[in-house]
Chains A and B, each alone.
Chain A
Amino acid sequence: MRGATDKELIAEVLEGNPESFEPLVVKYQPRVFAIARRYARREDEVEDIVQTVFMKAYSKLSSYRGDAPFEHWLMRTATFTCYDFLRKHQRNREWNATDLSTEENEWLENVGEDTTEKEANQSAAKALVDRLLESLKPDDRMIITMLDLEQKSVKEIAKLTDFTESNVKVRAHRARDKMKKILATLAPEKYL
């Protein structure tokens, strides 16, 4: 079992040996966890997403044709599972400047200035980005996350999501516009 390739392990699973799926889970679960944490905040939600991804992958393993690496196929399954999660848990909460934490307000006050508290700055920035992303539609949120945070190419995103490349660009543009509008409502006198 040790040192077997993905294709060998998959063949063994399809021959009726489910134990051969475990090395695949061990190998790819960190990546799937990292993806899931981009879309879900609570750790129990993250674990549910990852579990669903691997259960789907196992049950649909016979549909994996082997012409692309297993990792790509699995990441596509993870992307669709995260998309389903976002659709089911779409919050679209309205919020304004008074909802921001002290750290988030400070980040907006001091933006552009070099501060020594880099880590605190980053977590405040992440909290603000999370708020902005939550106000987007699930598919727009996925595209911005992949494009601007994971720095995937438009082509890669199109492959992962089944959108055309031009559709990805249009959605990204529209989503950024929406994020800018929300940012502008936070402190219009400062930023406009």
Chain B
Amino acid sequence: MKKIEDILERLLAETREIPANDRVPYAFEKRIMAHIKEAPATLADAWSVWAQSLWKAVVPCLAVLVMVAVWMKAPADGSGATTPQGNAAPAVANFEAPGEEDLESIVMLAIDPDSTGE
């Protein structure tokens, strides 16, 4: 009685004996090189598609910008319904610009740390 394992081993052994077919079609490398030389053009096309889509995005982005600007301005016009403060003007953070002396001492601190006490 023949064992399946032996049969499989024999099948694989006989197949192994067949030399690998490494024949290359005539001038196949030319075909590869032709495709490779086309590749940069494809890359350039990809960039132009990207640029076109960016240009197309400009109009919707501007529209959103205008809508946001209008929405931001609306409470300040006095409608007031959207803010908890009613008709009160929206709170705005108020930063005072540093005085000229302060600015000078900050700059000098960076140059000469010892001069701060003077």
Number of interface residues of B (CB under 8 A): 31
* Chain A, residue nearest B21 (CB): A37
Known A-B contacts A58-B39, A191-B3, A191-B7; the reply to A122 vs B15 at CB < 8 A is yes
Q: Which residues of A are in contact with B by a Cβ distance under 8 Å?
A: 18-19, 21-22, 25-26, 29-31, 33-34, 37-38, 47, 50-51, 54-55, 58-59, 108, 111-112, 121-123, 125-126, 128-129, 132, 148-149, 151, 176, 179-180, 183-184, 190-192
Interface membership of B71, Cβ < 8 A:
no
Q: Is the CB of B12 within 8 A of A148?
A: yes
Considering the complex, which residues of chain B in the window 69-99 have a beta carbon less than 8 Å from any beta carbon of chain A? Answer: none
Given contacts A176-B8, A179-B8, contact A30 B17 (CB under 8 A): no
Q: Taking CB as reference atom, which chain A residue is nearest B9?
A: A148
Taking A22-B33, A192-B1 as known contacts, 5 extra A-B pairs with beta carbons closer than 8 A to each other, sorted by chain A number, are A47-B28, A122-B18, A129-B12, A149-B15, A183-B4
The distance from the CB of B3 to the nearest CB of chain A, in whole angstroms, is: 7
Taking CB atoms, residues of chain A closer than 8 Å to B7 are 108, 111, 183, 191
A25 touches B29 (CB 8 A): yes
Q: How far is the CA of A112 from the CA of B29 in the complex (A)?
A: 44
B2 within 8 A of A: yes
